[in-house]
Structure 1
Amino acid sequence: MKTFPIIRVVTKILIPYILLFGCYVQFHGDYGPGGGFQAGVIFASGLILYGLVFGLDAVRTVAPPRVIEKLMSLGVLIFAGTGVLTMLLGGNFLDYDYLEHHVLPGILPTGQHLGLFLVELGVGVTVTAVMTMIFYAFAGRVQAKHVQAKQEPTP
């Protein structure tokens, strides 16, 4: 893509807005279920666009695979941890009503709001990381024909 400077400049302009829209969807999604998945895909699409235009090595510098692997685990931990916390407080798994009076009363939002926010945050982080890792897997793939040609000795 080095021969297409317009695409590179437009991409540099668009990516911050894509990520900002992902933030909007993430933080607006906590008023009802469903915002985390869409926000995760939007964030990942910003990273994937960066990788398509500037190359796989560039996006791996911005978001190293090692960090992405840790984010996949962190997102699941946030999601499951919210459910386990509600169980430890005496409720069922992901029963947000039990977060109401037990976790910093008066400082944090209501239990339903806090529970949805944490679950959607966990889903968003997980989806972003998984979609980015899928892109890394497909973009870094080498075709078998080229690999075989390199391994065969030349006469």
Structure 2
Amino acid sequence: MRMHSVLRTSTKLLMPPIMLFGLYVQFHGDYGPGGGFQAGVIFAVAFILFALIFGPDRARAVAPSWVTTPLCAAGVLLYAGVGLVTMALGGEYLNYNVLAADPHDGQHLGILLVELGVGLTVWAVMVSIFLAFVERGRVETTAPDPESGDAPRD
């Protein structure tokens, strides 16, 4: 089926630069504006664009709930885990100075890990919410009308 070939081709061309920009924002966040939250949103936008053009079934095949649900928690656990590691190394919670021999390197490593956790969580939560709304809408439109007992008509 060649429906919407211009949209499909445009999406295939736009997704790599969108995701590359997301990586830039993720890894440049400790030097300037950006970071995990913004990068997670950018990655989610790329995925939502994919879902809007190629359909929710294909999107769910790319990001099934058995992937997105654990990633929601994994990002939070990474964030919290960095804090626990800093405490185990003798510092305060999320005091990144103790993560490396040089405090500057420790700050860089800690921020990188925490922002990665935030980015993972934001992406997974936004994708999960989007797909939940899409799937809920599909269930409601295909369910029979309880009052009439008739199946809906397309």
Q: Distance in 2 between matches of 1:42 and 1:9?
A: 20
TM-score (norm 2): 0.87
Structure 1: which amino acid aligns with 2:47?
Answer: L
Identity %: 53
Q: Distance in 2 between matches of 1:29 and 1:62?
A: 27
Q: Distance in 2 between matches of 1:151 and 1:121?
A: 49
Residue 149 in 1 paired to residue 141 in 2? Answer: no
Residue 140 in 1 paired to residue 132 in 2? Answer: no
Matches within 5 A, 1:3-152: 3-31=3-31, 34-101=34-101, 110-142=105-137, 144=140, 147-149=143-145, 152=148
Larger relative contact order (CA 8 Å, sep ≥ 6): 1
Taking structure 1 as reference, are residues 144 and 9 closer, same or farther at Cα in structure 2, changes over 3 Å only?
A: closer
Which segments of structure 1 move beyond 6 Å, counting only runs of 4 or more? none
Cα-to-partner distance string for 1:120-147 (whole Å, 9 max, x where unaligned): 0000000000000010111111375753
Structure 2 stretches of 5 or more lacking a match?
A: none
Q: Distance in 2 between matches of 1:141 and 1:87?
A: 43
Q: Structure 1 residue 30: deviation in Å?
A: 2.9
Q: Structure 1 residue 100: deviation in Å?
A: 2.5
What is the total number of aligned residue pairs between the two structures? 148
Structure 1 stretches of 5 or more lacking a match?
A: none
